[in-house]
Structure 1
Amino acid sequence: MIYRFRVILDNETEDDVFRDLEIKETDTMEDLHNIITQSFGFDGTEIASFYLSDDQWNQGEEISLFDMSDGMNEVRLMNETNLSDTVHEAQTKLIYVYDFLSMWTFYVELAEIAEEDEGVDYPNLIFVQGQVPDDAPERIFEAERDEFDCEFDDAYDIDDYDNLDFNENWN
């Protein structure tokens, strides 16, 4: 069987940038990583990870290109993880992050599972839309004030140690 994916660059530009590609279900997550980097014009040498995602694109379990855990945690690796064990009809969405310094972020969605076409080499890039910008889209990480369960009073001046209302010799 063949998996057909749409891979969309998360960008803030007016133009949509995405690639449609096909890959065998028996290939690994590293094979998917390779076709994504090649189809978007990256050299593929930077650190990258896939994350399982739900329908709202919330980031879940990581599948990493390299094990950088120093044996502290068990890590799923792309080259050891079959595509069919990760993506299927019940789990169709992944988030892909390439180059953790630039944070190129992509939404990867399984669009179709189809029969293999005779005479086609897989993986296969089948459609290209848009130009990749020179730089990764700027990521803005802001939390809403209401997202935290703590109270914060703007009247406090953290540089005014005399009026912070705590005992200076507390320990």
Structure 2
Amino acid sequence: MIYKFRIVLDTLDDVFRDIEIEESATLEDLHNSVTQAFGFDGTEMASFYLTDEEWNQGEEIVLFDMSEGMNSVRMMNETSLDSVVDEKNTKLIYVYDFFSMWTFYVELADITEAEDGRDYPNLMFAHGQLPDSPPE
């Protein structure tokens, strides 16, 4: 199955990207797709956060383990999309670059069958330009 996500920058202006990706892909694959879609170089720290329907931030899933073995952490490269997102749990928060705090709302918009001949992940639609600096 293919997950279709809308990724919205937390800003007053409408800045979003629609990405479709295989349900078995990892959160790291989604991270890579989001950074490419918004024009980031992908070298900064990043995390996804589980969330509820009201966008309250929950468990963190990290790109790099900085705990030095002190805590058990969930890693993006070990977490498949279908293990954290489904028809009932459709929302994630994504933060890129903890110095700048680019914050995005990630929402599952649809689940469809894969289309023959299409490569995934796929940037379906882009709207708005990323501002020069992150929103306050």
**TM-score exceeds 0.5:** yes
Q: Give the Å deviation of 1:90.
A: 1.7
How many percent of aligned residue pairs carry the same amino acid? Answer: 70
Select the structure with the greater relative contact order (CA < 8 A; seq sep ≥ 6): 2
Q: Any gaps of 5 or more consecutive residues in structure 1?
A: 139-171
Counterpart among 52, 59, 62 of residue 61 in structure 1: 59
Out of 15, 22, 29, the residue aligned to residue 24 of structure 1 is: 22
Which runs of at least 4 in structure 1 moved beyond 4 Å after TM superposition?
none
Pairs within 5 Å for 1:4-43? 4-12=4-12, 15-43=13-41
Q: What is the count of residue pairs matched by the alignment?
A: 136
Q: Distance in 2 between matches of 1:71 and 1:42?
A: 29
What is the RMSD computed on CA atoms of the aligned residues?
0.6
Q: TM-score, normalised by structure 2?
A: 0.98
More strand by share: 2
- Aligned residue runs from structure 1 range 1-171, under 5 A: 1-12=1-12, 15-138=13-136
If the length of structure 1 is used for normalisation, what is the TM-score?
Answer: 0.78
- Higher radius of gyration, 1 or 2: 1
Q: Distance in 2 between matches of 1:92 and 1:74?
A: 25
Distance 1:89 1:65 in 2: 25
Structure-2 separation of matches of 1:60 and 1:90: 16
